[in-house]
Structure 1
């Protein structure tokens, strides 16, 4: 039995209208990740993942599921395992490029991390085509061109949680430590709608990669009467069958692509269809146009009620002033002239029996219109989601009594979670004359409850808000005029460009400080240092003075060679190298410690996997590697100290390597420095001979260190190869 026609109008409020042969919501990340793991394990042809983020570190399985799985849990290990299992399989990862604003949460060198961890049939691209201020916000996983996941969830940090949302959970561990309960919704579908997603992800990939991805499977069964595909995740049976659906997009103007605001038009049209109850859960509610449409429909339909579930508290100043301040205005528009028992904007929280309180973070993007329509998508009710970000929403239509029951079931299931009740309780409550008001009454203590938001405790409403214009814009932040008189939006800066700019800025600041110091600090010159050291010669303060000069010189990046020659010239060829070596070791240790603190604060993350690989080589080469670096004039003394601190080499290895690498050249510098002094005071053939001998010894030590370093590396590689061969022979014998 078929109900009234749906409102889907391709080109107006949707991109395409289609059908899902089977579909099921996946509520909260524990379920989605488990379902995704199952589908990837079963994949045979291709996998496309499109996301705001795709983090290689995420574990898809937890607890017993992880312990009992034969396949890896971490997504990078899983995709590597799958790609090596089937070299003909193609895996495509498309992630938003710009991530500087989310440095603490996201992998800074995502492409390099994925390239490092996976074989060649796993392709990774970063999407930098989005207009400045916007983001790549579609969240899609396509498996074998027969199964698709879509909705609000990324494979990202601070996402995983279970449906019971405990107050404390060891598994909710992110880059900044433990995070609170988090709620999200994804959907898995099969049938004709998958063919539309296949076109979308390939279009997105080809625009960024400039290459044609693998062709759609000719034998992919996406007909309306297709059976459940082999890759369908076990433990998640479909609850919708042969359901009519539509896909609505937001596509900003980028590279002459035709923009689309189908999401905006669809939401407005859906609101106009409501008669009984509109249920919304969304991360952000700031779009005034949506609030106005809801208010208008509430006035047109006296029996209509609206319940919105969102988050309690903002994260940071930008979110507070851009989204929470705007939610005050949204709520005011929504409620104007409406009886308070008919409309509520709420958050879900819990206080357990130990008195511990937690506020559930809402990241989902869900809307139900009576029992007629269900939206599960990526779009927030914000300005940027309607115009500037790339979005994709799936809208299911209750075209049969069974599918209408399923829409009502999803709504009741979500509300039961947020209010600590059962689905049966919700069926009774929503039949009351004022269902939203009834939701708020009689909630059970020590379980999750809905409470009306009071955003005034966080911020004040502001119609002229700089944070809002930067964080929730309707248009690109920067547009560039073209020769034809039109304008084109500037792209978000590429991650690589951002990192280069940061590096150049740091170098410029460092160089500027050094230049300023050399011009402004009168004693920071070779002559002043010589005079300062000369005054200490023959006193008890000689060694402390040398140590102080080396430490200050190291911090100010003063050339160590100049210091060593000066110390040798003043204290002679014996005590000069001894004092100089002690000063160099102390300066190295202090700058090593500064580097260690900086590395722990995030500089190691900035370096990325390539630097991590170099770090690993330095750690393996140990004392000899440090000695070779010290003998070869490849980098400034102070810079080597800082980089070593950022790396994972131990300070003992570093200082021993520094001593072995610097002391022989220090002796040569002692001869050179003392000879220069003698030539200046009393030139003779003997003093000139010492100078020439010192320079030749210096050059010989550098040449010898290069030879020794090469020999040592070759010997280590040969020993490693011999050991590997012995292990292989042992394994063969055991077999």
Structure 2
């Protein structure tokens, strides 16, 4: 389908692009007042500084990351007396504006990001506290999820919202030079070119974002937001930003995973799907990640249509470090592979930005944007990646224009972005689009001979195992990695009809045991037939011959017991790969030592740690441990009503004696671990030497384990 002409854009004014369903695909809609799309960090950092200098009453920030040492202006002197470093600017504003209050709500980040984040206890914010600076770390979200919304509110009438953090590695110019001496961290380290998109709004749309800030503040602090209600008047606007739209209908959509009394919200995913389904001419996407099977399936369906839209996806060539490359990067490769396979009408293109200079320097541009533009009429910008996390797990916010009436800013932003990526003016891009009626063809034409290019992404998964793994959701789960969340989800039932659900619970237990066995056998069989069998056998032989085999295996079980990784899965794998006795001795010893270590962690950390992780069953669990001593611990080891590490932590909180705890753990762990190892060994024997004796022993072992599980669980109840 061709791109719309200017006349077609005008004729489409007033027609709905996709139906709006409150609470289903959007949270709030409001008039935008003045608004703008801000492209890249240099523009946003300058605009942020200009906006907060105009603040008189309050500033509120929702942040995924926040770095006080960053320079907001690079290689230029400000026209005012305020500092250019973020932390100094904040304190200068507080000193010179006696009525100003500043509220910062910062995600209480995962330990995964420990080396990348500013350690708050050592910052000026903590060492030099100001009575009108309120910095709160927000942990009110599931373990494994993050607060990913990026919002700045100024005096209730002006707001920023989008994908940019006030942090390291974000600042860059739209030129994206491969070597830019100004593009450095506060420590002077250079980093690669960086591309992102943010928004600015006023009026009722800003008031909606103020309400979001209030909700988040109350959720984090359990107190009402202390700042005043927004007024209808607003005088704040950054002088360096040219408005792109005015009085547009801004639609806000959210993502939250279920947490405590807060329900799950999947509006962003629903709105993406609705917009993808509604597009007629093109779908243009810029995003940091592509790992959502649901979004990809929707795009594949559109590619299968004979007269469907053109689809263009701009991503980063390399997704990041080894962890991201091995998880989200692998998923992206597989999903792109599926999109190419579905592209029977040659309407799909996947690209990454690449820049070079006259000196021969070159670099990819890291894409951090989260943007989708459809049909020159609807545009979505915000914080959500095209990942399962952003669609289901993290907290996110997206703003969309053009869902009721055409957003005239949408075609302007498309041409602006293509101009930046291809090194041409917006007029040149517009001329090419008019002549080719294709974004993909425009990209292919305008990148020739340019120092700024959109290059084709290499697509394909190396090897069938990587492909099969990417077809699952293990690498990007759509549920929080939260032990309490998973147990609540698995055991949630209506108490008034609890007996009717017992069979489901028993079926879950039986299926889980079967899955563990099948997983172990599958690893053994699949590795030998799908990967290079000879290399796998060589690896196992070298591991068995290593003098560090047992200490290493012991350490693996210890870490598993401390982090909540399934010990039974490790037992099955170790039994199949090494030997039953090595699996049992290392598994029992490592798990017991981790239990003791967690016991002391519980004693030191106390109740708040467990309340965050396992709040709705903590009292019941603690009571069971205190009431029955050795017997209660033994029974909980056999059939836990909480994960292994949680039982250990609660035992520490309950001040249980070490002697009682160790005795109960040994009594409970011995039969369970022996049973798992025995049944696994017999399953392996039945598989390799199928005789009636081996199958009989396997059956008896499974029956014994199931009987022990059901009997102990009934006794506990």
TM range (shorter): 0.5 to 0.7
CA distance in 1 between partners of 2:470 and 2:122 (Å)? 33
CA distance in 2 between partners of 1:371 and 1:381 (Å)? 21
1:142 to 142, 153, 164: 153
SS, match of residue 187 in structure 1: strand
Q: Which residue of 2 aligns with 1:337?
A: 342
SS, match of residue 208 in structure 1: helix
Query: What does 1:349-364 align with in structure 2 at a 5 Å threshold?
Result: 349-364=354-369
Q: Which residue of 1 aligns with 2:302?
A: 297
Alpha-carbon offset, residue 442 of structure 1: 4.4
**1:35–1:460 distance in 2 versus 1, CA, 3 Å:** farther
Structure 1's unaligned 5+ residue stretches are 222-228, 488-504, 510-735
Aligned: 1:18 with 2:30: yes
CA distance in 2 between partners of 1:471 and 1:110 (Å)? 33
* Greater mean alpha carbon deviation, residues 302-311 or residues 140-149: 302-311
**1:99–1:177 distance in 2 versus 1, CA, 3 Å:** farther
CA distance in 2 between partners of 1:112 and 1:144 (Å)? 26
CA distance in 1 between partners of 2:128 and 2:306 (Å)? 56
Alpha-carbon offset, residue 471 of structure 1: 5.9
**1:117–1:342 distance in 2 versus 1, CA, 3 Å:** farther
Q: Which residue of 1 aligns with 2:351?
A: 346
The CA deviation string for residues 488-536 of structure 1, in whole angstroms up to 9 with x for no partner, is xxxxxxxxxxxxxxxxx9xx99xxxxxxxxxxxxxxxxxxxxxxxxxxx
Q: Which residue of 1 aligns with 2:208?
A: 196
The CA deviation string for residues 370-403 of structure 1, in whole angstroms up to 9 with x for no partner, is 11210011000001000001000000117666x4
Name which one, 1 or 2, has greater alpha-carbon Rg.
1
Q: Which residue of 2 aligns with 1:462?
A: 466
Alpha-carbon offset, residue 485 of structure 1: 4.2
Q: Which residue of 2 aligns with 1:376?
A: 381
**1:357–1:293 distance in 2 versus 1, CA, 3 Å:** same
Superposition RMSD on alpha carbons, in Å? Answer: 2.7
Q: Which residue of 2 aligns with 1:321?
A: 326
**TM-score, with length taken from structure 1:** 0.62
Query: What does 1:569-648 align with in structure 2 at a 5 Å threshold?
Result: none
CA distance in 2 between partners of 1:453 and 1:258 (Å)? 38
**1:460–1:80 distance in 2 versus 1, CA, 3 Å:** farther
Query: What does 1:408-487 align with in structure 2 at a 5 Å threshold?
Result: 408-431=411-434, 432-456=436-460, 462-463=466-467, 465=469, 472-480=476-484, 481=487, 485-486=491-492
8 Å contact kept, 1:323–1:468 = no
8 Å contact kept, 2:107–2:146 = yes
Alpha-carbon offset, residue 446 of structure 1: 4.7
SS, match of residue 63 in structure 1: coil
1:125 to 131, 136, 150: 136
Q: Which residue of 2 aligns with 1:165?
A: 176
CA distance in 2 between partners of 1:35 and 1:270 (Å)? 30
1:288 to 290, 293, 306: 293
Aligned: 1:395 with 2:377: no
8 Å contact kept, 1:99–1:108 = no
CA distance in 2 between partners of 1:426 and 1:454 (Å)? 25
CA distance in 1 between partners of 2:143 and 2:445 (Å)? 45
CA distance in 2 between partners of 1:86 and 1:349 (Å)? 44
8 Å contact kept, 1:346–1:451 = yes
CA distance in 2 between partners of 1:461 and 1:395 (Å)? 39
CA distance in 1 between partners of 2:362 and 2:253 (Å)? 38
**TM-score, with length taken from structure 2:** 0.63
Alpha-carbon offset, residue 111 of structure 1: 8.4
Alpha-carbon offset, residue 434 of structure 1: 3.7
Aligned: 1:88 with 2:91: no
Alpha-carbon offset, residue 108 of structure 1: 2.2
The CA deviation string for residues 402-456 of structure 1, in whole angstroms up to 9 with x for no partner, is x42x210101100111111221122122232443133123424251101111155
Q: Which residue of 2 aligns with 1:276?
A: 281
* Greater mean alpha carbon deviation, residues 178-187 or residues 412-421: 412-421
